[in-house]
């Protein structure tokens, strides 16, 4: 076991897959000699050369379209968005091309590509650099959407995403890159479509993903002192949603709170709420509650920025209120 930072866990995953499969290559802005905006691709250009670690112009729609074409011909591109918000410029290529070509070609093409990079609300990065794109792409057919949250799952999930035959949007949170964790020495690959049971409990199910996993963990420490026993599930797979794991938990606790950094309107929590109400309504002892970011552009001001997203004390209060209503 070796202690590893999350950005190095991602770099290890890419390095191992590039060494394993010569069709895997990286492309994006500053991914080569600069080593990536958060050093995820550091030194890979020296090791594999400029033809497998391609520095591109600042033209997201162009190089994303090129990656789709490369995937159609048998290569496995990994696109890094310097900031995931920039990939809105490639929305057409990701949705109409990457997401749909396997279907519209009658299965004649597969699109094995990964689109990854930093996103989420950082610390005073401003509105355009604080995007949470998971909700933007949730409705696009043909895409898989994954959000890593720890160094361990970041490495195992990215390796799985690179090997998958479908386009995978792989979301990394800008504030988790320096998170540390001991990783196994041997190779491991994690399933892309499974949630993780982080903590077992009996009183309430808390569903979350990405950075909010750590806010929930912090909140649970306070709740434990009050004799409250929450169950915590990291969704990880945002498309498809792992309803099997969720159902097992809801049938035990009968109460659900969803915590997300995504915006409230049409966010990931909205989709999960709908699925729970459709499939598990009779198991609920209280309405499903969602704790989401406010529907406003993220302020640059640090104090205002903090107020737009859910904090651990908000989670504690929500759990207390839910259980108080159902004593």
Q: How far apart are CA 293 and CA 310, in angstroms?
A: 6
Our answer to whether residue 129 is catalytic in this structure is yes
Q: Are 60 and 79 in contact (CB under 8 A)?
A: no
Task: Give the orientation angle of helix 243-253 with respect to helix 268-280, to 10 degrees.
Answer: 60
Among the listed residues 29, 80, 129, 134, the single catalytic one is 129
- Interacting residues of 286 by C-beta distance below 8 A, sequence separation 6+: 254, 255, 322, 325, 326
Question: Same domain, yes or no, for 145 and 87?
Answer: yes
Question: Same domain, yes or no, for 165 and 52?
Answer: yes
pLDDT tens track of the chain, all 327 residues? 789 999 999 999 999 999 999 999 999 999 999 999 899 999 999 999 999 999 999 999 999 999 999 999 999 999 998 888 899 999 999 999 999 999 999 999 999 999 999 999 999 999 988 989 999 999 999 999 999 999 999 999 999 999 999 999 999 999 999 999 999 999 999 999 999 999 999 999 999 999 999 999 999 999 999 999 999 999 999 999 999 999 999 999 999 999 999 999 999 999 999 999 999 999 999 999 999 999 999 999 999 999 999 999 999 999 999 998 665
Q: Sign of the C-alpha dihedral, residues 91, 92, 94, 96?
A: positive
Q: How far apart are CA 324 and CA 318, in angstroms?
A: 10
Instruction: Report if residue 23 sits inside a domain.
Output: yes
Instruction: Report if residue 318 sits inside a domain.
Output: yes
Question: Same domain, yes or no, for 22 and 165?
Answer: yes
CATH number for the domain harbouring residue 133: 3.40.50.970
Our answer to whether residue 215 is catalytic in this structure is no
Instruction: Report if residue 188 sits inside a domain.
Output: no
Domain that holds residue 301: 196-325
Q: How many CA atoms lie less than 13 Å away from 174 in the CB half-sphere?
A: 19
Question: Same domain, yes or no, for 109 and 216?
Answer: no
- Interacting residues of 67 by C-beta distance below 8 A, sequence separation 6+: 27, 77, 79, 113
Question: Same domain, yes or no, for 92 and 124?
Answer: yes
* Structural domains in the chain (count): 2
Q: How many CA atoms lie less than 13 Å away from 9 in the CB half-sphere?
A: 32
Instruction: Report if residue 206 sits inside a domain.
Output: yes
- Report the b/e string of 17-32 with b at 16+ CB within 10 A: bbeeeeebbbbbbebb
Write down the residue that tokens 């659900």 correspond to: 256
Q: What are phi and psi of 160, to 5 degrees?
A: -65, -40
In this structure, what is the dihedral angle of CA atoms 298, 304, 309, 313, given to the nearest 10 degrees? Answer: 170
CATH number for the domain harbouring residue 306: 3.40.50.920
Among the listed residues 17, 60, 196, 271, the single catalytic one is 60
pTM for this model (two decimals): 0.96
């Amino acid at each position: 076991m070796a202690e590893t930072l999350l950005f190095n866990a991602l770099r290890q995953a890419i390095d191992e897959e590039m060494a394993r499969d010569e069709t895997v290559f990286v492309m994006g802005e500053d991914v080569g000699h600069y080593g990536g905006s958060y050093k995820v691709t550091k030194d890979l250009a020296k090791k594999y050369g400029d033809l497998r670690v391609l520095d591109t112009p600042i033209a997201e729609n162009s190089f994303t379209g090129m990656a789709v074409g490369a995937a159609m011909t048998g290569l496995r591109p990994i696109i890094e968005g310097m900031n995931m918000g920039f990939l809105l410029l490639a929305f057409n290529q990701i949705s109409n091309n990457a997401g749909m070509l396997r279907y519209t070609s009658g299965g004649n093409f597969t699109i094995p590509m990964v689109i990854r990079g930093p996103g989420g609300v950082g610390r005073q990065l401003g509105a355009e650099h604080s995007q949470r794109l998971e909700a933007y792409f949730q409705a696009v057919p043909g895409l898989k959407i994954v959000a890593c949250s720890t160094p361990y799952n970041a490495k195992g999930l990215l390796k799985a995403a690179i090997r998958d035959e479908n386009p995978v949007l792989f979301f990394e949170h800008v504030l988790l890159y320096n998170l540390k964790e001991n990783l196994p020495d041997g190779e491991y690959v994690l399933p892309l479509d499974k949630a993780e049971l982080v903590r077992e409990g009996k009183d309430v199910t808390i569903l979350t993903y990405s950075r909010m996993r750590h806010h929930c963990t912090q909140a649970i420490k306070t709740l434990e002192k009050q004799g409250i026993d929450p169950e915590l599930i990291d969704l990880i797979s945002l498309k498809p949603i792992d309803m099997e794991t969720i159902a097992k938990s809801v049938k035990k606790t009968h109460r659900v709170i969803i915590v997300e950094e995504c915006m409230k309107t049409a966010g990931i929590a909205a989709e999960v709420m709908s699925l729970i109400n459709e499939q598990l309504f009779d198991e609920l002892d209280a309405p499903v509650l969602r704790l989401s970011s406010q529907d406003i552009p993220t302020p640059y001001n640090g104090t205002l920025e903090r107020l737009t997203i859910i904090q651990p004390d908000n989670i504690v209060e929500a759990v207390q209120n839910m259980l108080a209503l159902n004593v």
